[in-house]
Copies of this chain bind each other. A is one copy, B any other.
Amino acid sequence: MDQLITGDFQVNGDAYEPKTLVDGAYRQLRRDIIEGRHAPGAKLRVEHLKDEYEVGAGTLREALALLVSDSLVVAQGQRGFRVAPISLADLEDITRTRVMLESEALRQSIAHGDEAWEGNLVSAFHLLTRAEEKLAGDLDGSVNEWEERNRVFHETLIGACGSRWIRHFLAILYRQSERYRRISVLNRPVPQDVHEEHEQIFKAAIARDADEACRLLSGHIWRAFHTVSAVPEFAQESASRKVANGR
């Protein structure tokens, strides 16, 4: 199957070389939004951004249009583009939907996964473990590496799920979650419990214990939600939700 330029996850670890400027701007912009360099709700002025990303105005507009797909950018007719806003209520919705889809996907993956899948999973878990060790060692640049390997681990877990659509939706939801997680890790580094959770999920998956794996995975995802909701910025958000409702 052809490699789609706007496809979901990059399964192989190779560095992705953008084939077109639009694609390059799209990836760069997506990353900058997920990692919070463009704040939620912020206006995305084409005039400024075209200089920052070194492309023409039309090119940047097209990249922004692609980002509407992932619900990372919203377009308001005749009033330009904005970074999609965030809220605790939204994260709760994302989390609940993700738990439902990811449970189903994991169940299918465990049912249908072959030995190649097991191999990929062992590999992904190992790399994630190494990254978590580095993270505990407090190396500064290792956060991005951990994020990347965490993503690959979760992606591999459901990799043998036969449903492309579920995987597609999960890719979207994962990116959304990542935005929130990036905010929470700014305040507090990744807790050490997370490694143990990953290990338990990993073992249950290899043991083909679907019920246990889903139970653990659900707890894992919900725990991330609670970690974010404990962050002060969001505590105040849920208080001012009524205000935000107006308009």
The answer to whether A5 has its CB under 8 Å from any CB of chain B is: yes
Are B23's CB and A77's CB within 8 A?
yes
Are A93's CB and B165's CB within 8 A?
yes
State whether A5 and B58 are in contact (beta carbons under 8 Å apart), knowing that A104-B100, A164-B93 are contacts in the complex: no
Counting contact residues on chain A (CB < 8 A from B), the size range is 35 or more
| B residues less than 8 Å from A93 (CB atoms) | 162-165
Dominant secondary structure at the A interface:
helix
Question: Known contacts A5-B77, A93-B162, A169-B169; can you find 18 more A-B pairs with CB under 8 A?
Answer: A1-B247, A2-B76, A2-B247, A3-B77, A18-B77, A22-B65, A58-B58, A62-B65, A63-B65, A65-B65, A66-B68, A68-B69, A93-B165, A97-B163, A97-B165, A97-B169, A100-B104, A165-B173
| B residues less than 8 Å from A242 (CB atoms) | none
The answer to whether A182 has its CB under 8 Å from any CB of chain B is: no
Q: How many copies does the complex hold?
A: 2
State whether A4 and B75 are in contact (beta carbons under 8 Å apart), knowing that A61-B62, A93-B165 are contacts in the complex: yes
| B residues less than 8 Å from A66 (CB atoms) | 65-66, 68-69
| B residues less than 8 Å from A71 (CB atoms) | 168
Are B20's CB and A78's CB within 8 A?
yes
Nearest-CB distance from A184 to chain B (Å)?
20
State whether A6 and B104 are in contact (beta carbons under 8 Å apart), knowing that A93-B163, A97-B165, A165-B93 are contacts in the complex: no
